[in-house]
Structure 1
Amino acid sequence: MSRRAVNRTLLALVGLVLLAGGALVLLGGLDAYRHLGITPPGWWPLTSPDQPVLSTASRTRWTDRGWWWPVAIAVPALVVVGCLWWLFSQLRRGGPAGVELPSPTASGGSHFALRVRSRAVEEAIETETVALPDVERVTTKVTGAARRPQVHTAVRIAPGADTAALVAAYRTGPVEHARHSLGLAELPAQLRLRGGKARKERSRKKAPRVR
């Protein structure tokens, strides 16, 4: 699963939890159940404006247990650490946000700043690479600087695949097409091959840098 998909899933779950919690607080604070003539079950939280978020019984139910305070401290700490890890992972970039394209000089000597999103380049290479023979799965990452990008591709191949032919097809196909489309003089690329699941032992082969 890509980082974008994970982020969207996590944000959707957090949003649903916050929405549900906010709705419960709002309904209880506005005394909506009494105005609507609805009788919630006894375990339902926040049924009236005078009811606390956590009752005394709920707050003191397990305080006499030896495991209560370690759990009460460890769970919020893990939540905070997880949130900080997720935040720092978003701030850390493994590559440039975009690839800078060579642009002609306009009249007056000014330059146009043209960029293509790195993810668009990655998706184009992945789409073309996965269509090659004996390729089961592809993951591509653009690294380096915006003006001198590099491509790293990991490919899971089918058992008995012709690796030499695959490396040649990758170099002359997806990489060359991306280089030509971006207008770059060269596009260094690295290809990692991994054996399919049908093999008892996965073999990894690292091809030399191709241009």
Structure 2
Amino acid sequence: MLGRVNRVLIAIAGLVLLALGGSVLAIGLGAPAPSWWPHDGRHDVLLDEAERTRWQGEGWWWPVVLAVLAVLVLLCLWWLVAVVRRRRPAEVLVDTGDGEGAVLRGRALERAVAEEASRLDGVARAHVLLAGRRTAPSARVRLLLEPHVDPGTALHALTTGALAHARDSTGLAALPAEVRLHGVRHRAERVS
């Protein structure tokens, strides 16, 4: 969801900047100004002396300018944190059954599921990433299958094997998974 919002905001900002920059460039090169353009011609400056000093004497002007700039800075910082934030849980909360609980490193669980999945019949390689929260993780699994393997059989073996064992051993009620299956591509070899 956040990735879509990020792409939409970047696209909108890019289109606005492209429209304004293109308009300034076109007018500077002698094109007629569009109807919404606030200036008259090619040699008109963007902000003349009257426009720059128009609100300077008002008491509310500088607090409003500073407040708008502060809100813009906070929005940009929030956006940066949302983009840079880790999407993988560093640890998974394991229910030990005694009311306490323990934590398991997320990478250790990823490695264990990947090793068990790579031992399945016909799986050349497995790669697992955890996502979500530490109390409700989800898995992203990528399997590289040998040509002779039925994808449905490999998927069933994964869900009833490695993913079920991970769910049961961590005490999770559910471990949703997104599984991507790819076939191994062998290079053609010349036989003489």
Equivalent residue, structure 2, for 1:93? 86
Q: Which structure's relative contact order is higher, taking Cα pairs within 8 Å and 6+ residues apart?
A: 2
Distance 1:171 1:125 in 2: 11
2:174 counterpart (186, 192, 201): 186
Equivalent residue, structure 2, for 1:160? 148
Q: Does 1:150 align with 2:138?
A: yes
Question: 2:96·2:171 contact (CA, 8 Å) conserved in 1?
Answer: no
Q: Does 1:137 align with 2:130?
A: no
Q: Residue 186 of structure 1: CA displacement?
A: 1.2
Distance 1:188 1:176 in 2: 10
Question: 2:114·2:126 contact (CA, 8 Å) conserved in 1?
Answer: yes
Distance 1:145 1:199 in 2: 41
Distance 1:160 1:105 in 2: 46
Q: AA paired with 1:125?
A: V
Distance 1:134 1:105 in 2: 39
Distance 1:164 1:183 in 2: 27
Q: Residue 160 of structure 1: CA displacement?
A: 2.9
Unaligned runs of 5+ in 1: 1-87, 107-111, 201-211
Question: 1:96·1:142 contact (CA, 8 Å) conserved in 2?
Answer: yes
Distance 2:149 2:175 in 1: 25
Distance 2:155 2:101 in 1: 33
Deviation digits for residues 116-172 of structure 1 (CA, Å, limit 9, x no counterpart): 000010011011000011111111001001000001110111113211110100000
Match runs of 1:60-209 below 5 Å: 92-104=85-97, 112-198=100-186
Unaligned runs of 5+ in 2: 1-80
Question: 1:102·1:114 contact (CA, 8 Å) conserved in 2?
Answer: yes
TM-score w.r.t. the length of structure 2 is: 0.51
TM-score w.r.t. the length of structure 1 is: 0.46
Q: Which has the larger radius of gyration?
A: 2
Q: Residue 190 of structure 1: CA displacement?
A: 1.6
Identity rate of aligned residues, in percent?
33
Task: List structure 1 runs of 4+ shifted beyond 3 angstroms.
Answer: 103-106
